[in-house]
A = this chain, B = another copy of it.
């Protein structure tokens, strides 16, 4: 029976995810490096802004930070409570999940890698997808807490499996981002009406989340709203490539796409949305996808 939950890391995602916890749990502790944000969250949602060491005394501890390294660094400072479950919603590194899970196991704490998808709108509405790796019993224990902000919550395998699924998902999106940039540049070079072409493709086998939402809502209208930074996508594609290297597999399209997204990220201005990767292609062809 979960008595208390905590949420560590109140960024664009975490701030909204933590808000749902109060609907189901009376004790919701929050902590953020910039502590004013935690206090704001407490005032707004009735959570309790506490110190990090207090937060990790909860039965279920959520974390949502930029990278696995951030989680590792933060964890070294802490005294955890035996019997608790740490649910890390960071888009992290599978190898790091395995290490942390093994370390926490020694202290009788379970570590679940539980990255989410659905962006800020999904966090707002509590409709996120959560892909979870780790101990199956710990998954069952943490499930009620994850259900407050998640709609589709899946146990995908042992420690690292959740992070692996997220990395591959984002990689597939990156591949679509590149190939759609290439394909639509080509169509425009040949005088094709891009909006009509897009309608056709979205009713055909070439359809993807990129053609359905990213292309019309971010690229064709030239808005490129920052919701997911390009360097973070570059990081995620790197995680996917590392999974391939670890398993000594051959994955030419993914390997190439990782290089392209890395290059696009290196060329991009600070705080660029992932969708601006298409601008690298536009600089080559002098064709604007609009």
Contacts and interface: CB of A to CB of B under 8 A. Distances in A.
A254 interface: yes
A262 interface: yes
Given A157-B192, A165-B197, A176-B175, A252 B245 contact: no
Given A203-B117, A209-B205, A250-B262, A190 B160 contact: yes
A36 interface: no
How many copies of this chain does the complex contain?
Answer: 4
Interface of A: 94, 117-118, 129, 131, 133, 151-152, 154-158, 160-161, 164-165, 168-173, 175-176, 178-180, 182-187, 189-193, 196-197, 199-201, 203-211, 214, 234, 238, 240-260, 262-263, 266-267, 281, 283-287
Given A186-B254, A266-B284, 12 more contacts: A117-B204, A154-B197, A156-B197, A157-B196, A168-B201, A169-B206, A170-B206, A171-B206, A175-B179, A176-B176, A205-B214, A249-B285
16 contacts: A161-B190, A164-B186, A164-B192, A165-B197, A165-B200, A168-B201, A182-B249, A182-B251, A183-B240, A190-B246, A208-B209, A248-B262, A249-B284, A250-B281, A253-B256, A255-B258
